[in-house]
């Protein structure tokens, strides 16, 4: 996990107003492979193990099956298509991939300099550490400050709360992309205050004002 990402994470127990303090036990080239993220408000501690941050609010049990699946080498065309939909042409930028799209994290990170890609899915806990991007899991929300991310890609199989959270964390004039979109995706994004730009072939593109 890059130290820049650690600085932007918030407490899943206390809410997005409460940032976390990093204790890095093992680092290399500004990336933390072992450490703890602590909340100064509730004193909870979120572990970083092999670069994977577990940002689930307590009680934390075994990680359940996610949507990203086993480690794969994504096709470059998929990553390029996703980046084009996000509308990000240069850094600095932080991009979040939730659920199945998290499998494209490494491919997306390779396309642009000065961007931080964060994948969020329980399956990523079994993936080997890759210094080109960041891996976390979180519940019940997205552990970032509001209006700070340049783009979010969300799996349409997830529940409505994640759509609302995606709308909260994106910066002004930024986009939320839904893949595997269900018919309810457009309505949920609009109710969260976003404007629909495109809706076709199971993908929805929405933007913040």
The predicted-structure confidence for 22-37, as pLDDT tens digits, reads as follows: 999 999 999 999 999 9
Give the count of alpha carbons within 13 A of 132, CB side only. 11
- 74, pLDDT greater than 90: no
Flag the least confident range among 31-45, 60-74, 146-160: 60-74
Residue pLDDT, tens place only, 102-119: 999 999 999 999 999 999
Using CA atoms, how far apart are residues 179 and 187, in angstroms rounded to an integer?
Answer: 15
Task: List the domains of the chain with CATH numbers.
Answer: 3-56 (no CATH), 76-207 (3.40.50.150)
pLDDT score at 22:
98
pLDDT score at 129:
83
Whole-number Cα distances in Å, 134 to 80, 105, 157: 19, 8, 22
pLDDT score at 73:
81
The string of DSSP letters for 136-155 reads: EEEESS--B-TT-EEEEEEE
- Tokens 């552990």 sit on residue: 143
- 75, pLDDT greater than 90: no
pLDDT score at 144:
99
| Cβ pair 1, 32 in contact under 8 A | yes
| Cβ pair 60, 46 in contact under 8 A | no
Q: What is the share, in percent, of the chain residues with pLDDT greater than 70? A: 100
Q: Find the Cα–Cα–Cα–Cα dihedral 66, 19, 177, 125, rounded to 10°.
A: -20
- 195, pLDDT greater than 90: yes
- 92, pLDDT greater than 90: yes
- Mean pLDDT, residues 55-67 taken together: 95
Of 54, 96, 52, the closest CA to residue 71 belongs to 52
pLDDT score at 183:
94
Q: What is the share, in percent, of the chain residues with pLDDT greater than 90? A: 96
Mean pLDDT of all residues belonging to the chain: 96
């Amino acid at each position: 996990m890059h130290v820049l990402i650690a600085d932007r994470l918030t407490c899943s127990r206390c809410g997005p107003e409460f940032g976390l303090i990093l204790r890095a036990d093992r680092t290399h080239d500004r990336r933390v492979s072992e450490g703890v993220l602590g909340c100064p408000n509730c004193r909870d501690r979120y572990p970083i193990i092999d670069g994977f941050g577990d940002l689930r609010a307590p009680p934390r049990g075994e990680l359940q099956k996610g949507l990203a699946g086993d480690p794969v080498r994504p096709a470059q065309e998929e990553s390029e298509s996703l980046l084009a939909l996000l509308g990000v042409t240069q850094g600095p930028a932080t991009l979040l991939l939730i659920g199945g799209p998290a499998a494209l994290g490494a491919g997306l990170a390779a396309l642009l300099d000065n961007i931080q890609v964060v994948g969020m899915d329980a399956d990523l806990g079994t993936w080997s550490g890759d210094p080109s991007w960041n891996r976390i899991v979180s519940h019940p929300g997205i552990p970032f400050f509001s209006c700070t991310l340049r783009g979010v890609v969300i799996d349409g199989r997830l529940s409505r709360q994640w759509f609302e959270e995606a709308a909260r964390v994106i910066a002004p004039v930024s986009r939320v992309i839904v893949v595997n979109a269900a018919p309810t995706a457009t309505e949920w994004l609009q109710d969260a205050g976003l404007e629909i730009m495109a809706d076709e072939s199971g993908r929805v593109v929405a933007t913040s004002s």
